[in-house]
Amino acid sequence: MTRVAACQISLSIENPAGNISHANQGIAEAISHGAQIIVLPELTNSGYVFTSVSEVQDRSTTLDGEIISQWKEIAHKNDVVIVAGLALSVESRLYNASVIIDKSGLLGWYAKAHLFGEEHQFFKSGEKPPLVVNTAHGRIATMVCYDVEFPEWVRLAMLDRAALLAVPTNWPNLGQLIHGTPMEAVRVQAAASVNKMVAVAADRSGPERGHSWISSSVITDFEGNIKIIANRESEDDVQVLVADVELPTDTSITPKNDVRKDRQPDLYSGILKY
């Protein structure tokens, strides 16, 4: 079994130092519970509700910046994997990114390819598939928030043999009615189920410039069953969900069926059309 954590933390664009402090509190708490894989929200360093590119720029980090250095040190010292969303500046371009770090260092970074709402104003969209890397604790894929609503994208992670999908997210409260499991979590369950991958989505909390969030971080097993889901009503700045999950070693779902091998890719060419 692998112990995984989703750190649901309060973020605010007005308080970048507070964001990092909440993130590091979350990581420390997850480590204290024995977590081996720790997932943080989208745009952990910045918050979300930007009004100008310079606000993003001011709050962004670089690949050799302080935050990633800190997390490399924490990952090295504690033998944990950290997956986190960051406003990232690479070669003077700003990305809504996710990084994967383990004890050996930064394993890669990913840029959100499906931008939501106003994000096009602030970020360049990614042009590479979901990042999938071997880590000290299993083969992990990452993508960011709205990306997971594109089943083609999730499929690419499975086809690249990910065992766990880590999704930093800021799920906006758009006034949607929530009865039972929020649809955001339902979509994560289905993504896990049809791809036989564990899924960990780390959402955020904290009101920001009149916007709020559904604060529904969730961890599922590889059949899509919810192992734990956040308490949406909590007012804590740091809420750490921890679950023990088995990482899949193949994609079979019955003795005769396999979600990978049963695909009929020769019939899917229409999916490339608009």
In the complex, which residues of this chain contact its own copies (CB under 8 A)? Answer: 113-114, 116-118, 125, 127-129, 146, 149-156, 159-160, 174, 176-177, 179-181, 183, 186-187, 189-191, 193-194, 223-225, 254, 256-257, 259-260, 262-265, 267-274
The three-class DSSP label of residue 19 is helix
In terms of CB distance, is 64 or 179 closer to its own copies? 179
Rounded least distance, CB 223 to its own copies, Å: 6
Rounded least distance, CB 34 to its own copies, Å: 25
In terms of CB distance, is 103 or 116 closer to its own copies? 116
In terms of CB distance, is 136 or 253 closer to its own copies? 253
How many residues make up the chain in this entry?
A: 274
- What type of residue is 161? R
In terms of CB distance, is 28 or 253 closer to its own copies? 253
In terms of CB distance, is 90 or 226 closer to its own copies? 226
In sequence order, the 6+-apart residues with CB closer than 8 A to the CB of 33 are: 3, 5, 240, 242
The three-class DSSP label of residue 38 is strand
Rounded least distance, CB 220 to its own copies, Å: 10
In terms of CB distance, is 32 or 121 closer to its own copies? 121
Give the number of other Cβ atoms within 10 Å of residue 24's Cβ: 18
| Four-point Cα dihedral 12, 57, 125, 194, nearest 10 | -30
Instruction: Report which of 50, 268, 70 is spatially closest to residue 156, judged by C-alpha positions.
Output: 268
Give the number of other Cβ atoms within 10 Å of residue 54's Cβ: 9
In terms of CB distance, is 51 or 69 closer to its own copies? 51
Phi-psi region of 10 (alpha: psi -120 to 50; beta: other; left: phi over 0): beta
The three-class DSSP label of residue 88 is strand
Residue with tokens 């993508």: 143
In terms of CB distance, is 34 or 271 closer to its own copies? 271
Rounded least distance, CB 59 to its own copies, Å: 22
Rounded least distance, CB 178 to its own copies, Å: 10
Rounded least distance, CB 158 to its own copies, Å: 10
Rounded least distance, CB 113 to its own copies, Å: 6
- What type of residue is 73? E
Q: Are strands 2-10 and 105-111 parallel, antiparallel or unpaired?
A: unpaired
> Are 136 and 102 a contacting pair, CB within 8 Å?
yes
Rounded least distance, CB 99 to its own copies, Å: 20
Instruction: Report which of 107, 126, 194, 208 is spatially closest to residue 157, judged by C-alpha positions.
Output: 194
